[in-house]
Structure 1
Amino acid sequence: MTKTRVLSIALCLACAAGAASAADVKSVLLSSFTPKGQATLDRLDQDATQKACSTGAPLSGEAAAKIIADNTATIRYPADGQYLGDWKNGDKIAQTGTGLQSSDDPAKPSGGNCYACHQLAEAEIAYGTIGPSLKQYGKLRGNSESMLKYTWAKIYNAQAFMPCSTMPRFGHKNILTEQQIRDVMALLFDPASPVNQ
């Protein structure tokens, strides 16, 4: 049995028994991980949202409202008001699952890995179903300023809309650049994009 598997079982048993505090869990994690490349130990440091969502306990209405407010405050819209980039680049970003791993080149941009959770286009045969289908996203919703702002904000920080969402906070956590978010937005809204066929 691997060291990781043994640690996972020990943590699960300790948590189930109520014996492990957050400090105990973090101590075990710190002792079992080693930094490699860009995957450093600071990844184990949780912000307030991650801490609130990691307990496994249901959120109170007050806690959910705080997560929404805190994360809404992080959203940065494009200063020039331009929400859409190049859908072809957006498609590459959506279909790329690399970035931020220890083996990835930190000089290369991260991918969005969108297909892992969403269907993007009718022609796709392999896609995840954790998130809703995005097929015909712009065609069905239009491209009003309010829809563009909503979609930008959802990509930038999904926790502003749904506390403890499993969607990455792409902008807030600097996973995607502003230009990459523009390109993904174009993938979702451009009539020529495969998403809207």
Structure 2
Amino acid sequence: MKRISAKIACLIFLILFGVYRDLKSYKISNLLIVIGISIGFAFQTYEFGRKGILTGLIGSFLPILLLFILFLFKVLGAGDIKLFSIVGSFYGATFVFQTIIIAFLIGGLMSIIHLIKSKKLICRLQFLAEYIQAYGSKVNYLGEKGKKQFVISYYDIKKDGYGGTIHFSIAILSAFIIQVFLAY
């Protein structure tokens, strides 16, 4: 049980550091990701030998495969996906998949609360409807430079600022803690 406790404590520390960086700068450092995934592989190898490396690899690539499209549409930040990859490197594909689902439920709740508090709920729902309609009607969209764009960003930080965003890393941390309680 000591080894599992050390593994949990280490991952909580890494995610907490990611949350801290996210709160401070809206960025999660690549160095943290490299260190986190390396430590995850070390734990996997220690516990499961060569099989652990494969488990860690699959677990760390699954979030990228599942969530990359959300990154393209600017719905989710790259740092958030990479935080999920750290979780996957520690615990594998099934655990990280469940963590992603829980994090999105928590993130949705956080978003609704944020939009209600900032009195932007109706405005954002109207924008979402227009956004979906633009994609649904398959309108040719010309980007800022007049080139045809196939991916229209849902949220543009440069134009919209950070007022409509949440720190999704908090949802990831919360989801991981819930997963730990559910698993153990």
Normalised TM-score (structure 1): 0.25
- Where is the helix percentage greater, Structure 1 or Structure 2? 2
Normalised TM-score (structure 2): 0.26
